[in-house]
Amino acid sequence: MVVSTSPSHEYAHSKRLQSQEAMMTHKRPTVGWIGTGRMGSQLVERLLGAGYDVSVYNRTASKAQPLVDAGARRVSTPADLADRDIVFTMVSAPKDLAAVTTGPNGLLTNPDHAPRIIADSSTVSVEASEILRAAAAERGTHLLATPVSGNPAVIAAGKLTVAVSGPREAFDEVEPVVQHFGRSVTYVGDGEVARLVKIAHNIMLGVVTQTLAEITVLVEKGGVAREAFLNFLNDSVMGSVFTKYKTPAFVNLDFTPTFTQVLLQKDFDLGLDAGYKLGVPLPVTSVTRNIVAQEVGNGNVELDFATLLVTAAKGAGLELVPEDADVSDGLEAEDPAGVGA
């Protein structure tokens, strides 16, 4: 028997399908997170504050307990996150990234599930990212490179920025989630190019800090207080969010680590390797890298890389003392609720 369908019934059926599709479109994805260090834990907190269902894995389980207390679910292995829609990874080195994704009990080793998207926020080489991208593709998983610019203080102020590369359709799905991280999200292209963007960013981080150290020592030896000079510089066209952020460290000699010389040297080496492969000379980068490498060789491996100021002062025969001034780091919070844009 053939049942005829009136135009009105067809219209109603079409509207129901559209409504169902809209509900599916607006359903928030489930999120997994691997690596809940100082950066990762704050970003997870922002996602929890925005109402996302987040499960977390950290090699040292106790470090994830505050997130569990805030509403996250803790899992015992990365493979236990394979049923999540999107899984973020934020680890220290290529070997760590390989361990949590393709190593024993890694994210991509679960025989029954694989996430739709892996968004990796680790600072690793293009080659390491390509290896992970190929492994993810074998499981039908998209990989996005999602390196971030900032540190815990920047996250707390709502000023973190993110560069993303990979399949555009995967970016479109992840963008509403990543927007909660901070100030902006920029899609920079296909493949691994976000890795190159982050490496270039960190090269500038080191070069600017070395330059800032040298000129600060120059004016202090000429009789100008560091606070006065940096206040002037920060209000000039040469000032930036970064120079303001480093001002308290330079003025008061507080070198509590936000980024160490060891990590900076790693990124310089990645940048110089990229320059060699792309045929781009990086002479200023090379000189600054050698200064940083000498710091590491002399045992400066735990303090903040702003200690480049101390090295510049020693080279000028200048003994630095804290100025004990009340100076702002320019990171007044824009989004204290922690739910992002």
Q: Does the structure show a pLDDT above 50 at 14?
A: no
The pLDDT of residue 123: 83
Q: Indicate if the pLDDT at residue 19 is higher than 70.
A: no
How distant, in Å, are the alpha carbons of 88, 100, 118, 119, 174 from that of 97? 11, 5, 12, 12, 20
Question: Rounded to an integer, what is the distance from CA 207 to the centroid of its chain?
Answer: 19
Q: How far apart are CA 79 and CA 103, in angstroms?
A: 10
H-type alpha helices, the chain: 7-26, 38-49, 65-69, 94-101, 126-138, 152-156, 168-178, 193-221, 226-235, 241-252, 261-278, 283-297, 308-315
* Domain boundaries defined on the chain: 14-191, 197-315
What mean pLDDT do residues 117-144 have?
94
Query: pLDDT band for position 262 (50/70/90)?
Result: very high
Q: Cα separations (Å) of 110 from 22, 56, 103, 129? A: 31, 16, 11, 20
> What does the pLDDT look like over 77-105, one tens digit per residue?
999 999 999 999 999 888 999 999 999 99
Residue whose tokens read 């030896």: 221
Q: Which of 1-5, 96-100, 275-279, 310-314 has the lowest mean pLDDT?
A: 1-5
pTM score of the predicted model:
0.83
Q: What is the pLDDT of residues 163-199, one digit of tens each?
A: 999 999 999 999 999 999 999 999 999 999 999 999 9
Predicted confidence (pLDDT) at residue 63 exceeds the cutoff of 70? yes
Question: Domain 14-191 carries which CATH code?
Answer: 3.40.50.720
Averaged pLDDT for residues 29-45: 96
Residue 100: left (phi > 0), alpha (psi -120 to 50), or beta?
alpha
Q: What is the tens place of the pLDDT at every residue in 207-241?
A: 999 999 999 999 999 999 999 999 999 999 999 99
Q: What is the pLDDT of residue 179?
A: 96
Other Cβ atoms closer than 10 A to 1? 2
Length of the chain as a residue count: 341
The two structure tokens encoding residue 310: 């101390």
Whether 231 contacts 251, CB under 8 Å: no
Strands 117-120 and 86-89: parallel
Cβ proximity of 241 and 153 under 8 Å: no
Alpha-carbon distances of 122 from 24, 137, 146, 199, rounded to whole Å: 30, 19, 8, 11
On average, the pLDDT of the chain sits at 90
Is the confidence at residue 18, as pLDDT, over 70?
A: no
Residue where the block lists tokens 């968004």? 119
| Whole-number percent of the chain with pLDDT over 70 | 90
pLDDT at 124: 85
Question: How confident is the model at residue 16, as a pLDDT?
Answer: 38
pLDDT for res 331: 86
Distance between CA atoms of residues 322 and 250, nearest Å: 9
Residues 101-116, mean pLDDT to the nearest whole number: 96
CATH number of 197-315: 1.10.1040.10
d(CA 14, CA 174) in angstroms, rounded, equals 28
Tell me if residue 45 falls in helix, strand or coil. helix
